[in-house]
Structure 1
Amino acid sequence: MTDRLLRYREEPQIAGGRRDRNIIKRKLPSIRKIGLGDLRSALAAGMEDFLAMPSHVVFLSIVYPVFGLFVALISADRDVMPLLIPLTTGFALIGPFAALGLYELSRRREFGLDVSWKHAFAIWHAPSRASIAILASGLLMILLAWLFVAHTLYQVLDVDPAVSLPRFFYTLFMTSKGQTLLIAGATSGFLFAAVVLAVSVVSFPILLDRNISAANAVLTSLRVVRLNPVPISIWGIIVALALALGSIPLFVGLPVVIPVIGHATWHLYRHLVE
C-alpha cells in the first residue's frame, strides 16, 4: 500500500514536430477552475498541517540565524545597506523552492504515511530532482536579476549613502529621492514577483508529485494562471501580506507564516491540478 501511494506518476517526454507538440499538450496534467472557497480550504488545510507536524521547529532553527547574520552584515558594511529591503523581500522569489520540504511533508500526511522532519529532505530522492534543480536555478537567476535592478535603481536615483541603519531608513522614507526609490523598487519588485508566481504556483508541487520535465511543470503553472487569473492573483496577495505581517517586527512571525503558506500551497496544488 505504501509503495503504491508513494509511486510517482510519469509523464512521457516527447519531442518533435507539430504532431508531437500536440501529443505533449494532451499529456499535460488536467487543471481545474477554482474559486475563493478553494483558497480558504487550502489555507485551512495548511494550518491543520502546521498544527499536526513540527515543521515550524525547523524554521525556528533556520530563520533567526540567517536573518541575524544578515543584520550583522548590514551593520558592518554600509555599502550593503541599499540591498537590505531587496534581500528581505527577495526571499519570496525563492520561497517556492525553499518550501519543497513542506510540500513533501503535506504529501506524506495526505497519504497517511509516517512524517518527521527528516522526511522534508526526502525530496532529493524524487525522480524529478533534475527538473527541480533546473527550476530552482531559474528562480535563483530571477533573484539575482532583482538584486541587480534594485542596486541599479539606487545608483541611478543617486540616493545619499547611509552611514547607519537609522540614517538609511530616514533617507528612504523621509526624502524625495528615497521615496522615488521606494516607488520604483516596489513597481519593479511587483513585476518580478508576478513572474515567479506565474511560473511556480504549482510547478514545484507537481515536480514532487509526478515525473515531469521542468518545462512542462512551468507550462502547467502558466495554464493554471491563465484559467484562474483572479484566484491566483488573490493568492499572491495573500502570500505577500502574510510574509509582510510575519516580518514585523524583526521577522518573529515567519516561523509560523512560512510553514502555513508552504503547506497551503501543496493543498492549493491539489485543488488546481487533477
Structure 2
Amino acid sequence: MTAFHVMAGSSAELVHPGIRKIAVSDVFDALRLGWEDFRAKPSHYVFLCMIYPIAGVVLAAWSSGANMLPILYPLASGFALLGPVAAIGLYEISRRRELGMNTNWRHAFDVRRSPAFASIIGLAVMLLAMFVAWLLVAQSLYAQLFGDVPPASMSAFFNQVVGTEQGWNLILVGNAIGLVFAIIVLSSVVVAFPLLLDRDVGAVAAIDTSIRATLANPVPVAVWGLIVAGGLVLGSIPVFVGLAVIMPILGHATWHLYRKLVIPPMGK
C-alpha cells in the first residue's frame, strides 16, 4: 500500500491538477514574492540555509586533490540538480506564511510530518540518481578525452582544459550534456515538491503536473530555469557564501511560481 500511495497519492487515484498559462512577468512576480518571504525573517532563513555554502566549500575542499579535479565542476554545477530537495523546508515556510501560520525556522522541518512525505522521499531519490548519473557521465567524458591519468596539478588541469582541443570539446560537450540533465530535472520537478506539500497527490502525479506545466508554459519555465542558474552562479562566486541568500529567495519564489502555475482544487 505504501508504494501505491507514493505512486497515486492518498485518493488511490492518479489525479491531474489543472494548469494555468502564465507570462514571463508572472515569473518575476514570483521572484518578488520570494524576496518578500525572505525579507520577513531573513536571519532565520540565512541560519537555515548556511548548509548551502558549507556544502559548497566541503565539495570544493574534497575535490581539491588532483584525482578529483576533473569532477570539481560537475560536482558544483550538479549541486543544482539537488536544489529542489534542499529547498523543501523553504517551500513549507512560504506555505505557512501564506496561511498566516507561525513561520519560525523550526517549522521548515515539519515536512517530515507531511502526508506526502513518502512521495517526497521518492522524488528526492530520483534527483539523487540523476545527480549520480550526471557525475558518471561527466567522468566518462573526461576519461574518453584525456584518459584515466589524473592531472598533475591544478595549473596543469587548467591548461589542459582551456589550452587544448580536447579541453574545448570537454567544455562544449560537457555543458551540452549538463543542459540536457538540467532540462529534464527542471521540467520534471518545477512544481512537484510544492505540489506534494500542498496536496498529497503522489509522486507520479507531481511529475506529470510539472511536465504539463512546462509544456504549457515553455518560455516562462525556461526563463525561470535561467534565473535559477544565474542565481546559483552568482551565489557561488564568493566561495559559495552568497548561496545563503540566493537559495532561500529562489526557494520561496518556487512556492509562488507553483501557485501561479497550478490551479487549486475546488473549494480552496
TM over 0.5: yes
How many Å apart are 1:251 and its aligned residue?
Answer: 1.7
Answer whether contact 2:57 2:240 (CA < 8 A) is retained: no
| C-alpha distance in structure 2 between counterparts of 1:31 and 1:102, whole Å | 23
Cα offset, 1:11, TM superposition: 5.7
Within 2, Cα distance between the matches of 1:99 and 1:107? 13
Residue aligning to 2:150: 161
Aligned to 2:46: 56
Decide which moves more: 48-57 or 220-229: 48-57
Q: Note the residue ranges of structure 1 that are not aligned, 5 or more in a row.
A: 1-9, 15-23
The answer to whether the 8 A contact 2:53-2:243 is kept is no
In the other structure, the counterpart of 2:60 is 71
| Unmatched tracts of structure 2, length 5 or more | 1-8, 264-268
- The offset of 1:240, in angstroms, is 0.7
Write the distance in 2 (CA, Å) between the matches of 1:67 and 1:269.
27
What's the CA shift for 1:71?
A: 2.5
Q: Which of 133, 136, 139 is the matching residue for 2:124?
A: 136
- TM-score, normalised with respect to structure 1: 0.88
RMSD: 1.5
Equivalent in 195, 198, 207 of residue 187 of structure 2: 198
**Secondary structure of residue in 2 paired with 1:162:** coil
Q: Please identify, of 183-192 and 232-241, the stretch whose mean Cα deviation from structure 2 is larger.
A: 232-241
TM-superposed CA distance for 1:112, in Å, is: 1.0
Could you report, residue by residue, the CA deviation over 1:128-175 in whole angstroms, capped at 9, with x for unpaired residues?
A: 001111111111111111001000000001167322223322322232
Aligned length: 252
Residue 180 (str. 1) matches residue 179 (str. 2): no
AA at the equivalent of 2:258:
Y
| Seq. identity, % | 46
The 5-angstrom pairing of residues 218-257 of structure 1 reads: 218-257=207-246
TM-score with structure 2 setting the length: 0.90
Q: Which has the higher contact order (CA 8 A, sep 6+)?
A: 2
Q: Would you say the 8 A contact 1:128–1:207 is kept in 2?
A: yes
Measured in 2, the distance between the counterparts of 1:33 and 1:273 equals 9
